Amino acid sequence: MTAPRALCRLDEIADGGAVGLCPDARGRATVVAVRRGEVVHAWRNLCPHQDRVRLGWRRDAFMNGEGTHLMCAAHGALFRPEDGICTSGPCIGDALNRVHVTVENGVVLGQPEDLPAEAVA
Protein backbone atom coordinates (compact mmCIF):
# COMPACT_ATOMS: atom_id res chain seq x y z
CA MET A 1 0.00 0.00 0.00
CA THR A 2 1.30 3.44 -0.89
CA ALA A 3 1.69 6.17 1.71
CA PRO A 4 -1.53 8.03 2.51
CA ARG A 5 -2.01 11.47 1.02
CA ALA A 6 -3.13 14.47 3.09
CA LEU A 7 -6.37 15.80 1.63
CA CYS A 8 -7.09 18.67 4.03
CA ARG A 9 -6.98 19.58 7.69
CA LEU A 10 -9.92 18.49 9.84
CA ASP A 11 -10.47 22.06 10.98
CA GLU A 12 -10.97 23.14 7.36
CA ILE A 13 -14.34 21.34 7.48
CA ALA A 14 -16.93 22.93 9.77
CA ASP A 15 -18.45 20.37 12.11
CA GLY A 16 -21.65 19.23 10.37
CA GLY A 17 -20.52 20.76 7.10
CA ALA A 18 -18.89 19.54 3.90
CA VAL A 19 -16.14 20.63 1.55
CA GLY A 20 -15.02 19.66 -1.92
CA LEU A 21 -11.57 18.05 -2.22
CA CYS A 22 -9.23 16.56 -4.83
CA PRO A 23 -9.86 18.98 -7.70
CA ASP A 24 -9.59 17.83 -11.30
CA ALA A 25 -7.66 19.77 -13.94
CA ARG A 26 -10.48 22.31 -14.18
CA GLY A 27 -10.64 22.90 -10.45
CA ARG A 28 -13.82 20.90 -9.89
CA ALA A 29 -13.93 18.85 -6.68
CA THR A 30 -13.93 15.10 -7.36
CA VAL A 31 -14.48 14.20 -3.69
CA VAL A 32 -16.92 15.57 -1.11
CA ALA A 33 -15.97 15.24 2.58
CA VAL A 34 -18.54 15.62 5.38
CA ARG A 35 -17.51 16.10 8.99
CA ARG A 36 -19.42 14.72 11.96
CA GLY A 37 -17.44 15.62 15.07
CA GLU A 38 -14.04 13.96 14.73
CA VAL A 39 -15.23 11.62 11.97
CA VAL A 40 -15.04 12.40 8.24
CA HIS A 41 -16.98 10.58 5.54
CA ALA A 42 -15.81 11.13 1.99
CA TRP A 43 -17.69 10.41 -1.23
CA ARG A 44 -17.03 10.55 -4.95
CA ASN A 45 -18.59 13.76 -6.21
CA LEU A 46 -20.93 12.10 -8.69
CA CYS A 47 -24.68 11.64 -8.36
CA PRO A 48 -25.89 8.05 -8.95
CA HIS A 49 -28.91 9.46 -10.84
CA GLN A 50 -27.03 10.63 -13.93
CA ASP A 51 -23.37 10.22 -14.85
CA ARG A 52 -21.28 13.41 -14.99
CA VAL A 53 -23.56 15.21 -12.51
CA ARG A 54 -21.82 16.64 -9.46
CA LEU A 55 -23.38 17.28 -6.08
CA GLY A 56 -24.02 20.72 -4.62
CA TRP A 57 -24.64 24.01 -6.37
CA ARG A 58 -21.61 26.10 -5.52
CA ARG A 59 -18.04 25.59 -4.38
CA ASP A 60 -18.23 23.84 -0.97
CA ALA A 61 -22.05 24.20 -0.88
CA PHE A 62 -23.17 20.57 -0.60
CA MET A 63 -25.57 20.35 2.34
CA ASN A 64 -29.35 20.77 2.35
CA GLY A 65 -30.73 23.74 4.29
CA GLU A 66 -31.19 21.79 7.49
CA GLY A 67 -27.62 20.49 7.31
CA THR A 68 -28.78 16.88 7.65
CA HIS A 69 -27.98 15.53 4.18
CA LEU A 70 -25.71 15.98 1.20
CA MET A 71 -27.72 17.33 -1.70
CA CYS A 72 -27.49 16.95 -5.44
CA ALA A 73 -28.81 20.37 -6.41
CA ALA A 74 -29.65 19.30 -9.98
CA HIS A 75 -32.79 17.44 -8.91
CA GLY A 76 -32.79 17.65 -5.12
CA ALA A 77 -31.59 14.13 -4.24
CA LEU A 78 -30.59 13.86 -0.56
CA PHE A 79 -27.87 11.53 0.74
CA ARG A 80 -27.13 10.45 4.32
CA PRO A 81 -23.62 11.69 5.14
CA GLU A 82 -22.76 8.53 7.09
CA ASP A 83 -23.52 5.82 4.53
CA GLY A 84 -24.10 7.79 1.32
CA ILE A 85 -27.57 6.30 0.80
CA CYS A 86 -30.02 8.44 -1.16
CA THR A 87 -33.09 8.83 1.06
CA SER A 88 -35.20 10.91 -1.30
CA GLY A 89 -35.04 12.09 -4.87
CA PRO A 90 -34.45 10.46 -8.26
CA CYS A 91 -31.87 7.88 -7.09
CA ILE A 92 -33.61 6.87 -3.85
CA GLY A 93 -32.03 3.70 -2.44
CA ASP A 94 -28.82 4.10 -4.47
CA ALA A 95 -25.60 5.18 -2.78
CA LEU A 96 -22.68 7.48 -3.38
CA ASN A 97 -19.31 5.76 -3.82
CA ARG A 98 -17.19 5.95 -0.71
CA VAL A 99 -13.65 7.27 -0.70
CA HIS A 100 -11.87 5.79 2.31
CA VAL A 101 -10.34 8.43 4.55
CA THR A 102 -8.92 8.50 8.04
CA VAL A 103 -8.18 11.36 10.40
CA GLU A 104 -4.78 11.41 12.05
CA ASN A 105 -3.38 14.29 14.09
CA GLY A 106 -6.02 16.63 12.71
CA VAL A 107 -5.29 15.76 9.09
CA VAL A 108 -7.71 14.00 6.71
CA LEU A 109 -5.83 11.25 4.84
CA GLY A 110 -6.77 9.24 1.77
CA GLN A 111 -5.09 6.40 -0.11
CA PRO A 112 -3.82 7.62 -3.50
CA GLU A 113 -5.05 4.46 -5.27
CA ASP A 114 -8.55 5.05 -3.87
CA LEU A 115 -8.81 8.65 -5.10
CA PRO A 116 -10.52 9.51 -8.39
CA ALA A 117 -8.13 9.16 -11.34
CA GLU A 118 -9.09 12.60 -12.64
CA ALA A 119 -7.98 14.29 -9.38
CA VAL A 120 -4.81 16.29 -9.90
CA ALA A 121 -4.29 17.49 -6.34
Partner 1 sequence: MRIIGPDEMVFGVDTLEDSKAFLRDYGLEDDGTGRFLALDGTAVTVRAKDDPDLPPPLPTNNNLRQTIWGVEDQATLDEIEAELSKDRTVNKAADGTLTCQDDAGFEIAFRITRRTELNLPPERINSPGAAPGRAANEIGADEDAPARPRTLSHIVYFVPDWEVMAKFYIERLKFVITDKFTNTGPFLRPQANDDHHVLFMIQTPPYMQGIEHLAFHMKGPTELMLAGSRMVKMGYQSFWGPGRHKFGSNWFWYFSSPMGVNIEYDADMDKHDGDWTEREAPMSPENSQMFLFENVEKWAPGGPPKGKA
The residue ranges that bind partner 1 (CB under 8 A) are 26-27, 53-54, 56-61, 64-66, 71-76, 78, 88-90, 92
Distance (Å, whole) CA 81 – CA 38: 14
At its nearest, how many Å lie between partner 1 and the CB of residue 113?
27
> Based on CB atoms, which residue is closest to partner 1, 39 or 92?
92
Determine the distance from the C-alpha atom of residue 86 to the mean position of all C-alpha atoms in its chain, rounded to a whole number. 14
- Residue with smaller CB distance to partner 1, 1 or 58: 58
Q: In this complex, which beta carbon is closest to partner 1, that of residue 57 or of residue 112?
A: 57
Nearest to 63 by CA among 34, 31, 99, 39: 34
* CB nearer to partner 1: pick between 53 and 109: 53
Provide the minimum distance between the beta carbon of 29 and partner 1 in the complex, in angstroms, as a whole number: 10
Q: How far is the CB of 14 from partner 1 (least distance, A)?
A: 15
CB of 91 to partner 1, least distance (A): 9
Query: Using CB atoms within 10 A of its CB, is residue 53 exposed (0-12), middle (13-18) or buried (19+)?
Result: middle
CA angle at 95 for the pair 4 and 118, rounded to the nearest 5°:
45
Mind giving me the DSSP string for 49-70?
A: SSTTPPSSSBTTB-B-TTSSSE
